[in-house]
Amino acid sequence: MEIYRGKRLTVEKKEVTLPNGKRKERLVVHPGGAVAILPLEGEDCYLLRQYRFAVDDYIYEAPAGTIDEGEEPDGTAYRELIEETGMKAETFVPKGWIYPSPGYTDERIWLYLATGLSPCSDYSMDDDEVIEVVRVPVTELRAMIADGRIVDAKTICLACRCLL
């Protein structure tokens, strides 16, 4: 039974039968798909220092965004990189996808490495985004993950898929 429908997600209450035969009531959030991109230039990458209202803090994360209806993940990656960083890339290398929080959502995030970066003057951020683009040496990115300065799961997964 659908209990909420918004512009970007729905919430459903379901009765499920678990593999052990037990029946339970669960909520499932269906936000649709998303992408995350690691823009890499030489030995540096670009991250966002972005304000996230749900945690009331700024966090470091990879550029990312929601797949629009009828859009393929590759097209979303191209569009979101421009919208959030003002850069375009010659090459997008798919790095698979992840379930960021499978305990309550079926969201998939497709991961991309972007190279061949160049400025793109034809961009604008959404009016509800508070973002600073930060250039980070790859060695510092690893340190930021290790010491907890980066706490965003999709960014950590993306860095692992692209740099390990």
pLDDT per 10-residue tile (average), the chain, 164 residues: 93 96 96 97 97 96 96 97 96 98 96 97 75 97 97 97 88
> Are residues 77 and 18 part of one domain?
no
Q: What's the structural domain count of the chain?
A: 2
Tokens of 6: 């918004």
User: Is there a contact between 48 and 55 (Cβ–Cβ < 8 Å)?
Assistant: no
> Are residues 3 and 16 part of one domain?
yes
pLDDT of residue 121: 79
- In this prediction the pTM is 0.93
**Beta strands 34-41 and 64-66: pairing type?**
antiparallel
String of DSSP letters for 52-85: ETTTTEEEEE--EEEPPTT--HHHHHHHHHHHHH
Q: Which domain holds residue 14?
A: 1-30
> Are residues 78 and 15 part of one domain?
no
> Are residues 116 and 89 part of one domain?
yes
pLDDT of residue 84: 94
